[in-house]
Amino acid sequence: MSENDEPVRKALLEDLDTGFGELYGAYRGLVFSTALRLSGRWADAEDLTAEAFLRAFKALAGYEPDRIAALQPRAWLMTILMNIWRNCARAKSRRPPTDLVDDPVETVDPREGVEETAARHETGDELAELLGQLPEEQRAAVVLRHVVDLPVSEIAMVLKIPQGTVKSHVSRGLHRLRALGGVR
C-alpha cells in the first residue's frame, strides 16, 4: 500500500470532487510514467492517463462509501490503466499499419539544462524501445515492479495473476532486457 493511499481515501470519503483532485495530484505522475513505459509514446501515454482518470472518476461516482473506504487507490488506478492499455493494444493490432511517421513531440522543462535534456531523451527512448521488445505480460510486470515500484502482491492484484507468475514475468523480462543490452 502506498503512503498516499490513506489521505486520498479519506479525501474521497469526505467529498468526491475534492478527493478526486487529491487522487489526481497524488498519482498523475505515476500513472503517466507507467503509461509512457507501457506505450512507448508520449501522446499515447497522455491519452492513456486521461482515460484512466476519466474512468476512475466515473467509477468513484457510483461507489458506496464502504467500497471507497476499502479502496487501494494506487493499485486500483494501475488496474484501470492496465485494462485500458491492453484494450488499446488489442484494438491497434486489428488496424492496418499506417505509413505515417509518429514522432512524439518532446516537451522541454525550462529548468533543465541541454545535457540533462539530451541524456533523459536518449535514455527514455532506449528504455521505451527495449521495453517495447518484451512480450506484453513481461513488459507490464517489469514496468509495474521496477518503474512504478509496486510490490509483487499489488502487481498480482493489478494483473489478476498469481504472485509466482508475477515473479516469473519480472525475472524473464529482466533477463530478456539484459540479453538485449538494456539492463546490467
CB 40 within 8 A of CB 129: yes
Q: Where do the domains of the chain lie?
A: 1-94, 114-184
Nearest to 92 by CA among 143, 138, 31, 44: 44
- Asked if CATH classification 1.10.10.10 holds for the domain at 114-184, the reply, yes or no, is yes
Within 10 Å of residue 15's Cβ, how many Cβ atoms?
11
For the 1-94 domain, the top CATH level (class) is mainly alpha
CA distance 140 to 105: 24
pLDDT band of residue 90 (cuts 50, 70, 90) is confident
Tell me what pLDDT residue 124 has. 63
Tell me what pLDDT residue 95 has. 67
What is the percent of the chain where pLDDT is above 90?
64
pTM: 0.76
What pLDDT digit, counting tens, does each position of 28-51 carry? 999 999 999 999 889 999 999 999
CB 155 within 8 A of CB 166: yes
